[in-house]
Structure 1
Amino acid sequence: MDKSVARPAPARQRDLFMAFLRIGLLGFGGGPAMIPLVQQEVVKRHAWLDDEEFSDILAIANTLPGPIATKMPGYIGYRVGGVAGCINAVLAVILPTIIAMIALLGVFSRYRDVAWIQGMGQGVVPVVMVMMGQLAWDFLNKSQLALGWLVSLAMAAVAGVLIYWLGVHPGWVIGGILAAALLRPTSKREATP
């Protein structure tokens, strides 16, 4: 059976909820900071997806509008648990934020000038930086294995120039790469089994 058509084993709704609840509770720094946590839960801990499937989902989620913190749980939940899994995963990932915002907004507003309150937010930044660096390193290694160092570094350089120096939205860059991959003619060697 073709790997791209293979469906993962259905996840128990309780496992799905708990996995995304952990992500929602520990995902300080917003959606991008949650990506390594999602990978840890769905690829490494539960093996609902492999690294390649996760990378594909991440690439497509980045091209679509809206917050990645709900797009990825929604799709992954649907993929491993159907419609109930989609709803379950999205609720699990957003509930901690909703509850924390309601409970803590008044406290933070009242005590915002207290040094330890300011330090809480600043203290999380280095941890998120390390998590994002680890994810970038993992993706660089996967890219190198699939495309080689030269192509991987060239694509990273071009993407960096487009995004950071020319101000092109990352979604357009990823969409362009996806379109180029779809429109690329297949060589006879690739087409033959």
Structure 2
Amino acid sequence: MKQANLFFAFFRVGMLGYGGGPASIPLIHKEVVEKYSWMTSDEFSDVLAIGNTLPGPIATKMAGYIGYRVGGIMGMLNAIAASVIPTVVLMIILLVSLSSFRDFAWVQGMTHGVLPVVAVMMGVLTWGFIDKTTKDLGWLKVVFLVVMSVLLIQVLGLHPAIVVGALIAFALLKKTDTDKGKKGEASS
């Protein structure tokens, strides 16, 4: 049953994740955290952050990791296949059929109409991350990190993976320092 749930969870993501990997992230969150409770929101955030630092499509990386975590090697292969097969099949069907209709206004309107929905889905997911982070760090630090991230990525042109990697390294170093401080206090 677990393998079937894995397959259908990532199959739905593959079928409905219009707009690429980033648009699929809220759908993966819905399936993995809310529907099946395979991981918590915090764990999902960690997987997303680490996945964003690695090369390749984020939806496939997340499917592989979550599939492995839930169902071992077969779960990993199952989840990856379920997330990739719909994309490949739909891409072939849509490219063949829509290429002859690409100049029609309704095809262009369909593409433009989906973009706001994807933006709202990404906004809801972002707000969830900000809300969780403010509980841990407070609003002042969160606003500072958001502003600095935007400046580094948009103004200086730094790759987002570098910013995410630096923030992960900072968090790990801070955690290590905190743990050392607690051990020092306990031994005193």
| TM-score bracket for the superposition, by shorter chain length | over 0.9
What TM-score does the superposition give when structure 1 sets the normalisation length? 0.90
* C-alpha RMSD of the superposition: 1.5
CA distance in 2, matches of 1:170, 1:68: 13
CA distance in 2, matches of 1:53, 1:126: 28
Counterpart of 1:28?
Answer: 18
Which blocks of at least 5 consecutive residues in structure 1 are unaligned? 1-10
> How many Å apart are 1:187 and its aligned residue?
5.8
Which one of the candidate residues 18, 37, 56 is aligned to 2:46? 56
Counterpart of 2:129?
Answer: 139
CA distance in 2, matches of 1:115, 1:190: 64
Moved more, 108-117 or 139-148: 108-117
Superposed, 1:6-155 pairs within 5 Å as: 12-155=2-145
Counterpart of 1:157?
Answer: 147
Over 3 Å counting, the alpha-carbon distance change for 1:42 and 1:187 in structure 2 is: closer
State the one-letter code of the partner of 2:90.
A
User: If each structure's helix is expressed as a fraction of its own residues, which one has the higher value?
Assistant: 2
State the one-letter code of the partner of 1:84.
M
Counterpart of 1:7?
Answer: none
> How many Å apart are 1:114 and its aligned residue?
1.2
- Alignment partner of 1:113: what SS? coil
> How many Å apart are 1:105 and its aligned residue?
1.3
> How many Å apart are 1:190 and its aligned residue?
4.2
CA distance in 1, matches of 2:9, 2:179: 42
Which one of the candidate residues 173, 178, 184 is aligned to 1:186? 178
Counterpart of 1:4?
Answer: none
State the one-letter code of the partner of 1:102.
I
- Alignment partner of 2:62: what SS? helix
Map Cα deviations across residues 104-128 of structure 1 (whole Å, 9 max, x no partner): 2121111111111111111100100
- Alignment partner of 1:88: what SS? helix
Moved more, 53-62 or 93-102: 93-102
State the one-letter code of the partner of 1:20.
F
Matched, 1:167 2:157: yes
Over the matched positions of the two proteins, sequence identity in percent amounts to 53
What TM-score does the superposition give when structure 2 sets the normalisation length? 0.93
CA distance in 2, matches of 1:30, 1:190: 44
State the one-letter code of the partner of 2:49.
A
- Alignment partner of 1:145: what SS? helix
